[in-house]
Structure 1
């Protein structure tokens, strides 16, 4: 692995001790020999053996880097801190629960390589979700409301697997839960976004950190905030004058 890999895979985790080793193994299998990459795990103050498992894996996986929060800060902050620590110009994100398939990362990279330079986000689209019926129903309505309010032309913003340019991401306004609104925020900044169908799997270990009620209560406030950001956005091209 070089000092400046082509791709950084950022994975936020909280209490995912049984998912760490399988997911790291899948990331390595999907990317090693195909692209120069690093893996940046961000441990958000796990209370189980997640951090210990990651430290053990570092002995055999040279691409793996581990950073940890000193206090619990949530998924959006974990993603952002992982992106800030990353050395690659492009970032792939995965949820730490193993429901995203690392084998889809090369597909996103291929879409980027064949795409428009103005496209800075390739967002996973779970066309065959493996969640409970209640969670799928809640997400369907949440996506419909979000799409109507933000007009981001994105069928699935909650999918954890995404590929985006590091510089463009770090230029976005930061707030808790921002990771759920990346297409709208990227479009607000003047960039194009593309949704790419990806695989989705059942959780095989651990428990979900969210339920439908807390997602809904937070989502209402976030939607209003993102809509306000879009309304108040102003963009213009700039040029530097010669001496």
Structure 2
């Protein structure tokens, strides 16, 4: 099926700020990776000032499956991912970072793992091998993930990987907070869904510089971790509702 023939079966959400150089290459790689699937790609421009919107609009002229949603001012990665998920038209959504470090070649494996797991498989989450970040960032991330995993018990080795496939209907159940995109597996488990993991290989950033530091992410992450732990503690049972009709 051509990517523009009928409603999409997969929506790809790309959050990005000032990624005008990376996004055109990434979008073409996504097209190749998804092949004959019916898909759409939603770029969420998080208040860029480098002409990201103009670059995407130029691409949209020959790509009917490409969409652009723009934040008037930067609201952060979590808000951008959420905006894209709300705008998505497909039941399965794949998220991928806009800096080009996530490889779209792993998208089919994530989608297939999600579908194979049945309706209660909520997320197929990428877990990065051969990280390309600096040594300090890798150490900080390793420590943070071990602490988070010990507290939340979500079985996720790498919560920061932006490459995930998830069910949109499940996402609509989640409470929102800034930083939320790093806790999607724990939030899925809280709603009674299951999580599976796929190893993916990280790449070097092609253009620009990373927008994240160690201290700002670490301090905020500690507060978020407490919040998600509290949310899990405050849910004792997951309802299994059945509608009863007068006809039995």
TM-score per shorter chain, which class? over 0.9
Q: CA deviation digits over 1:20-42, x for unaligned, max 9? A: 11001101111132x10000000
Q: Which of 190, 200, 206 is residue 204 of structure 1 equivalent to?
A: 206
Tell me how far 1:236 sits from its aligned partner. Answer: 1.9
Residue of structure 2 equivalent to 1:48: 50
1:160-171 aligned at under 5 Å gives the runs 160-171=162-173
Q: CA deviation digits over 1:139-176, x for unaligned, max 9? A: 00000000011111111111000000001011111111
Residue of structure 2 equivalent to 1:15: 18
Residue of structure 1 equivalent to 2:188: 186
Q: Which of 137, 140, 143 is residue 142 of structure 2 equivalent to?
A: 140
Tell me how far 1:135 sits from its aligned partner. Answer: 0.8
TM-score w.r.t. length of structure 2: 0.95
Q: CA deviation digits over 1:202-237, x for unaligned, max 9? A: 111111111000010110100000000000014221
Residue of structure 1 equivalent to 2:112: 110
Distance 1:116 1:28 in 2: 26
**Contact 1:4–1:87 (CA under 8 A) maintained in structure 2:** yes
Residue of structure 2 equivalent to 1:89: 91
Distance 2:167 2:31 in 1: 21
Which runs of 5 or more residues in structure 1 are unaligned? Answer: none
Any runs of at least 4 consecutive aligned residues in structure 1 with deviations exceeding 6 A, and if so which? none
Distance 1:41 1:3 in 2: 20
Distance 1:105 1:79 in 2: 17
Q: CA deviation digits over 1:114-157, x for unaligned, max 9? A: 22331110000102211111111010000000001111111111
Q: CA deviation digits over 1:50-91, x for unaligned, max 9? A: 111111111122210001012221111111111111100100
1:239 and 2:245 correspond: no
TM-score w.r.t. length of structure 1: 0.97
- The CA RMSD measured in Å over matched residues stands at 1.0
Aligned residues: 242
Which runs of 5 or more residues in structure 2 are unaligned? Answer: none
Distance 1:31 1:153 in 2: 28
Distance 1:160 1:2 in 2: 28
**Contact 2:43–2:68 (CA under 8 A) maintained in structure 1:** yes
